[in-house]
Amino acid sequence: MIMNKFPIGFWNYTRTGDLGPEAVKDWADLGMTFALSPEYYDGCDKEAMLGILDACAERDIKVIVSDHRARWWSGETAEECEAQFKAAYEDFGRHPATLGFHIGDEPTTPEKFEAAARANRIQLKIAPELTPHLNFLPYWQGQEESILHAPTFEDWVERFTAESGLKILCYDCYVQMNPEEEGTHQYFTNLRKFAAGAEAAGIEPWTTLLSVGHFRYRVPSEDDLRWQLNTAVASGMKGILWFFVYEREPVSNYRLPPIDEFGERTETFARLSRVNRHFLHQFGDLFLRAEHLGTFHTVKSYGGYPLFEAGKTDDVLTDVTCDQGLAAVVGFFREGGDKYVAVVNNSVKESGLFVLHVPKDTKTFERFTWNRTCVRLKDASWDACYYETDTELCGGDWLAPGQMKVYRIGK
């Protein structure tokens, strides 16, 4: 595990000194367990950055320090890059709030990939206890030939991880907030590809989700925010970033992030806070520890995910249905020897009653509760449904758009 709490953080493009330590209260209120720090350039106030780190340590929020001396372009040679990073590490690397340093964003050429890999190696050489952070572009068909120069995406992840020592595979994808359904397909393609690539390389997959309207992307509603977080986790993501929190000076058609151009909390702040904190309270510890076994879709496959086949996909869960015909994301996980199923309503508009079906002789058929305990569905069906047939136990819950419930099942 990279952290002792499920990683939920955000991209921070403010400059060191723009925000005081009091800003960290906003981060805590948003449910963030880590954050990228303000940008630190030559001439920035070191004490201002240390003040942010101190405030984060007080609230148990980890920080990826965004110091330009840690970037892949910080020097022409390895020796220059190492000297630059050593200076950054001496200033901020030993602080208890520091999780790691940000290397850079979205390399696209062989030269940039090699420089990024070199920067990752240098950081691990000097600070093996930290986690360097490098962010990649989203996947698109043909990327293997155009920029990765590898036979498959998974081959590239394995190769780059071996060359760099990468600990997390992090990327961003926002097309899911486009009005066209093609964006949903691309979103799930990315979840599938990055989860598979990280698994092949033996590292953690992290994704960046959208919390600000811009370009063709809509302003995410609370249903949108919930859907993004839960579908990502049910697809195996082990860390989440939100793009972004601070509007700063208005540009283009960017609008309604959690904190606007006046430094005031927007309606998105309350929505994102609720979504993050709900997830962390109920599911954070479980998914921090759980091993992802696989993910399936029901009714309609997006992004190349396999459809759940009734009676074939799993030896305990025979089917997942919805009385209203809505699609679901069904993720399988293992933790502490137990098998868990995450069921997410894959609609961002409609609620539905989702029902799990298991054989009549199933020994464990339980719901994971708000209080993080497991209760037999038979005893907890007052707010959902439970019934038995001659051959099956059937139980489940009403799910709002993007809502997730987790069940423990076992023979």
DSSP string computed for 345-370: E--SS--EEEEEEEETT-SEEEEEPT
Residue at which a domain ends, from 289, 306, 331:
289
Judgement on whether residues 197 and 137 belong to the same structural domain of the protein: yes
The pLDDT assigned to 382 comes to 77
Rounded CA-CA distance 192/106 in Å is 19
The pLDDT assigned to 90 comes to 99
Judgement on whether residues 103 and 174 belong to the same structural domain of the protein: yes
Helix (H) or strand (E) holding 224: helix 222-234
Residue at which a domain ends, from 229, 261, 289:
289
Rounded CA-CA distance 260/212 in Å is 10
The pLDDT assigned to 377 comes to 95
Task: Count how many domains the chain has.
Answer: 2
Judgement on whether residues 156 and 234 belong to the same structural domain of the protein: yes
Q: Which two tokens stand for residue 365?
A: 């058929």
Mean pLDDT, 10 residues at a time, the chain of 411 residues: 97 98 99 99 98 99 99 97 99 99 98 99 99 99 97 98 99 99 99 99 99 99 99 99 98 98 99 99 99 99 99 98 98 98 99 98 98 94 88 98 99 93
Judgement on whether residues 78 and 29 belong to the same structural domain of the protein: yes
Judgement on whether residues 280 and 354 belong to the same structural domain of the protein: no
* Residues in CB range of 125: below 8 A, 6 or more apart: 82
Residue type, 410: G
The pLDDT assigned to 278 comes to 99
The pLDDT assigned to 384 comes to 78
Query: Residue 253 domain-assigned?
Result: yes
Query: Residue 215 domain-assigned?
Result: yes
Rounded CA-CA distance 157/200 in Å is 8
Q: Which two tokens stand for residue 319?
A: 């089917």
Residue type, 373: T
Contact 225, 211 (CB under 8 A): yes
Rounded CA-CA distance 248/128 in Å is 34
Rounded CA-CA distance 71/213 in Å is 28
Judgement on whether residues 300 and 377 belong to the same structural domain of the protein: yes
> Which domain covers residue 187, as residue numbers?
8-289
* Residues in CB range of 37: below 8 A, 6 or more apart: 12, 16, 49, 52, 53, 63, 64, 65, 66, 67
- Number of other CB atoms surrounding residue 5 within 10 Å: 15
Q: Which two tokens stand for residue 318?
A: 């025979």
Rounded CA-CA distance 302/297 in Å is 7
Query: Residue 193 domain-assigned?
Result: yes
Judgement on whether residues 101 and 130 belong to the same structural domain of the protein: yes
The pLDDT assigned to 318 comes to 99
Q: Does residue 66 sit in helix, strand or coil?
A: coil
Residue at which a domain ends, from 238, 272, 289:
289
Query: Residue 3 domain-assigned?
Result: no
The pLDDT assigned to 340 comes to 99
Q: List the Cα angle 185/186/191 in 5-degree steps.
A: 100
Judgement on whether residues 255 and 357 belong to the same structural domain of the protein: no
Judgement on whether residues 124 and 189 belong to the same structural domain of the protein: yes
